[in-house]
Structure 1
Amino acid sequence: MSWGHIPFIAAAVLLVIILASAGCAELPPGGSTGQSGGIPPTEEQSSGQGYNPGYLTPATPYPTAAPDVLAAPTLNRFSDTVPTTDPYVTIYQKKTKFEQTIEAYSFNLTRPPLIIEFDVEPKMITREKHTTSSYGDKDEIVVTQRYPSEDAWFRVIVRDSATGKILAEDGFGKGFSADTHKMIFIGKYGDYLLEFSGNEVTVDIQVRVGGV
């Protein structure tokens, strides 16, 4: 070997060493040596904690009006009161069944008022009516109807005992309303005749006065 070829051999060996060193270099993740055009994931994004590349700046929320807070209710106690007794005197109280019957009572009222209260229980009639349903297949159905007997009635009459003049009257049925609870009030003293009459009814009657 001539000394003139040594520089060329040395250059070739140096080139082999350089290429070998380059082949041992580790490639970046993804197998690409170039820079990707996408936004590289951050540690927070890869760990599932959200992603903020810095375009949004944290700030204090805009203050909003707080919802109305209701004041606690004030509990008031009713003043202690002593129950008062009935200021009137009961002179008659009876539950009677009327079947075309009449009862009469006289009373000299010296301490008004005269209060007559009564509750009427009329005889009830039950009927079954066959009709056609207005729903679905319009089958025939039976409708049960319950209502007071047309013959049920009751009447209270307050008369002047001397003249027989009617001073007050009220009742149930036969021209009177269907209300079952009623009251007659007489505020003037006098000698009265009370008449209770009726049919197909059971009536609870109470008579009270200012005193006896």
Structure 2
Amino acid sequence: MIVNFSVKPVNVTGTHIITRHSGIYQTEESVEYDYYSPYSWFEITVRNKSDGKILKQAGFGRQYSQNLNQTMKILNQGNLLIEMDGNQVTASIDMSVEKEGNIANTTSPS
């Protein structure tokens, strides 16, 4: 199974007013900032449904990278449980499996 996901985290933007001192002169300057919210994160966990064992994890933020677009390749077969969790993100997920060999060929007897 291939899982492609992309996240759009909440962006924090604003302006700080800073004061620069040089001798007796003082000037104010505005500095704009723009960054991902430190509270934005997303995580996908793939588990074996029968025993709960974690087979694969990936995500954005927290202990994961800041990559907005990622791909997970799950090679395990069987009954899988896919958990998704996050905060302050919009996530788009696309899951696909190979068509060939995915479902046993069932033919009815003649």
Q: TM-score range by the shorter chain?
A: 0.7 to 0.9
What are the ranges of 5 or more consecutive residues in structure 2 without an aligned counterpart?
103-110
Letter paired with 1:142: S
Choose from 140, 147, 153 the match for 2:35: 147
Choose from 166, 177, 196 the match for 2:65: 177
Which TM-score applies when normalising by structure 1? 0.43
Letter paired with 2:49: S
Matched, 1:125 2:18: no
State the shift of 1:188 in Å. Answer: 3.0
Root-mean-square deviation over aligned CA pairs: 1.8
Q: Percent identity?
A: 33
Q: Which SS does the other structure have where 1:190 is aligned?
A: coil
Moved over 6 A (4+): none
What are the ranges of 5 or more consecutive residues in structure 1 without an aligned counterpart?
1-113
- Aligned runs of 1:186-205 on 2, under 5 Å? 186-205=74-93
Matched, 1:160 2:42: no
Structure 1 or 2: larger strand share?
A: 2
Higher relative contact order (CA 8 A, sep 6+): 2
> 1:60-103, CA deviations, whole angstroms, 9 ceiling, x for partnerless residues?
xxxxxxxxxxxxxxxxxxxxxxxxxxxxxxxxxxxxxxxxxxxx
| CA distance in structure 2 between the partners assigned to 1:195 and 1:205 by the alignment | 12
State the shift of 1:139 in Å. Answer: 3.1
Structure 1 or 2: larger helix share?
A: 1
